Amino acid sequence: MSKQAARKLRSVMQFAGFGLPAVFIWVTVIIIPFIYGIWITFTDWNGLALDINYVGLDNYVAVFSDATFITSFLKTVIYAVFTVIASNVAGFLLALAVTNGIKAQGLFRAGFFTPNIIGGIILGYIWNFIFSYALTGFGKAAGIEWMSTSWLTHPARALIALIIVSSWQMSGYLMVIYIAGLTNVPGELTEAAKVDGATGWQVIRKIKIPCIRNTIAICVFLSIARTFMSFDMNLSLTAGGPYKSTELIAYKIYQTAFTSMEFGKGQAQAMVLFVIVAVISLLQVYFTRKGAEN
Amino acid sequence: MNKMKAKKSLMFFVTLLVLILFMVPFFILVINTFKTTQEFIQTPFALPKSLNFENFFVAVRRMNFWTALKNTAVVTVAAVLVNTLVSAMTGYLFARKRWKINKFIFMAFLASMVAPFQVYMIPQVKIYAGQMGFSNSLAVVAYIAIGLNIPFAVFLYNGFVEGIPEELDEAARIDGCSFTRTFFLIILPLLKPIIITVTVFVAMGVWNDYLMSSLFLTKQETKTLAIAIKTFLTNHSAEYAPMMAGLLLSIVPVLIFYLAGQKYIIEGVVAGSVKG
């Protein structure tokens, strides 16, 4: 065997040993289902029927002419807007508070982060009990009318509950990213500003925020993507109710596919979500790259 | 300076107050695990009249807690071990051998990270549970978890290996180390920090996963904790106090890890935000 052939063989062996296992798993778990999924959107497969028929673009037409899907999409947008704003503001303020040189910073950090180590299903149920029983009990005892019936039985309030709980969870997560950004702000800059008589608020607005623009972009896009994919909490806190009024898009997809058994339509809805999330991710890459260049 | 100190203490107490408010849901959870359902409904905010552990026994029995805990641990450990091994090897290969095919696959890995799980879930169920008949298989859940985490893990390992000087590999080769031996004897030990980060990220994701696992695991004896608590809560919808105990029990295992290594866990969980 020539030297070159031997080297080639060695490279092939190296690829087979080091690359192939991961590539094989990835192809079977991600690539094949992805392609297969596209195919499913062109069929009327319902999980039971043996003969599967091609229906062309019918599923996509059905998705876009389905008023409940459009409503679900709009609800998701409302949910996303409020959750993203609330969790980013809260996360940023928490990060400011725990990077200010106060005592027990590590404890605060760990404390505010706690909801992120627990599954959304469990968190949703804890809050479900709070909204359904604890708050109503308190409301009745104190004679506060809007607290004496469960928020989860009222369409608008149920969505607000979902926003509150999601923001509660996500603020601790975003806090950690904001902390990383804030600790990179040069200390000399803030010190110099203080010597020149800048107030704490001015230091935050004129120095800290401009310095962490990139971090803000990451946090905002990350939280947008997460809100659009939100499922667990939707299931355990409101279960889409009352009267399907809080079915966010990821939950809607699940319902279409596994409750109504309309797999083709469910997969077409999933493709819509895919496009939304992909666009958000690409925008994130674009904006953070641009920020890094400046 | 005194004014500065006073301001710091004020900040400290304000932040502490916010943290206490933030933790209220957990306090409510804990105090209500010791009450009877009757007591829970009447006085949800009061401390329990007596420490009653009965709820925990009921929850353990109804949830099949130990089986669920074992299943969750099996899936998580298997997913983490295999994912670490294959992803670290691939990350190393891609960092050291800049072949066209490696670059191409790496780009494809990155591209596949933008898709949400919802895109894969229906076909995965159809293929693995339907056509291949692997429903209620913990192995398949672990396998899918490994696959879903491969792009991200390879991305992190690859980046880390690129920060290790290639002279190290050269020196090992001159000493007669093969590519494989170099990886396992020289590089792998150096990957410890990134292994911890990726392990935490994957482990937390798999441990807390509900959606993917629930599509495959429907039998009582294959349920993981997240699924067991969900069925317990939906099937016994009038026993609030035992449910609170069940929720607390599901949190305790993660909480123990969190108390032991919160620094690593925060880092690992947030590692997800660096992608892209």
Domain spans in chain A, listed from the N-terminal domain onward: 1-40, 58-293
Backbone angle region of B133, left / alpha / beta, with phi > 0 → left and psi within -120 to 50 → alpha: left
Average pLDDT over residues A185-198: 84
The token duo for B143 is 């396998």
Instruction: Report the C-alpha gap between A151 and B212 in whole angstroms.
Output: 29
pLDDT computed for residue B151 by the predictor: 95
CB contact under 8 A, A34 and B112: yes
CATH number for the A58-293 domain, one of 1.20.810.10, 3.30.1490.20, 3.40.47.10, 1.10.3720.10? 1.10.3720.10
Q: Is A279 on the interface with B (CB under 8 A)?
A: no
Among the partner-chain residues B101, B124, B226, the one whose CB lies closest to the CB of A33 is B124
Average pLDDT over residues A153-157: 88
CB contact under 8 A, A36 and B127: yes
pLDDT at B233 over 50: yes
For A200, name the nearest residue in chain B, comparing CA atoms only.
B7
For B264, name the nearest residue in chain A, comparing CA atoms only.
A110
For A98, name the nearest residue in chain B, comparing CA atoms only.
B15
> Could you tell me which of A38, A33, A230, A30 has the C-alpha nearest to residue B112?
A30
Q: Give tens-digit pLDDT for A219-241.
A: 999 999 999 999 999 999 998 87
Q: Is A277 on the interface with B (CB under 8 A)?
A: yes
Instruction: Report the C-alpha gap between B258 and A20 in whole angstroms.
Output: 34
Average pLDDT over residues A37-53: 81
Which residues in chain A are contacts of B204 at CB distance < 8 A? 117
**The residue count for chain B:** 276
The shortest C-alpha distance from B160 to chain A (Å) reads 16
Instruction: Report the C-alpha gap between A171 and A115 in whole angstroms.
Output: 9
CATH class of B72-224+257-274: mainly alpha
Which residues in chain A are contacts of B146 at CB distance < 8 A? 25, 29
Please return the burial class of A121, using the count of CB atoms within 10 Å of its CB with bins 0-12, 13-18 and 19+: buried
pLDDT range class, residue B276, cuts 50, 70, 90: very low
Mapping DSSP to helix (H, G, I), strand (E, B) and coil, where does residue A54 land? strand
Least confident window among A36-50, B65-79, B82-96: A36-50
Which residue stretches of chain B are H helix? 2-32, 37-42, 54-63, 65-96, 100-112, 118-124, 138-162, 167-174, 179-181, 188-190, 192-208, 211-216, 225-235, 240-270
The shortest C-alpha distance from B261 to chain A (Å) reads 10
The token duo for A154 is 């009222």
Q: Give tens-digit pLDDT for A11-20.
A: 899 999 999 9
Domain spans in chain B, listed from the N-terminal domain onward: 72-224+257-274
Q: Is A144 on the interface with B (CB under 8 A)?
A: no
Average pLDDT over residues A17-40: 95
The dihedrals phi and psi of B200, each to the nearest 5 degrees, come to: -60, -45
> Could you tell me which of A77, A83, A72, A123 has the C-alpha nearest to residue A246?
A72
For A22, name the nearest residue in chain B, comparing CA atoms only.
B86
Please return the burial class of B67, using the count of CB atoms within 10 Å of its CB with bins 0-12, 13-18 and 19+: middle
pLDDT range class, residue B114, cuts 50, 70, 90: confident
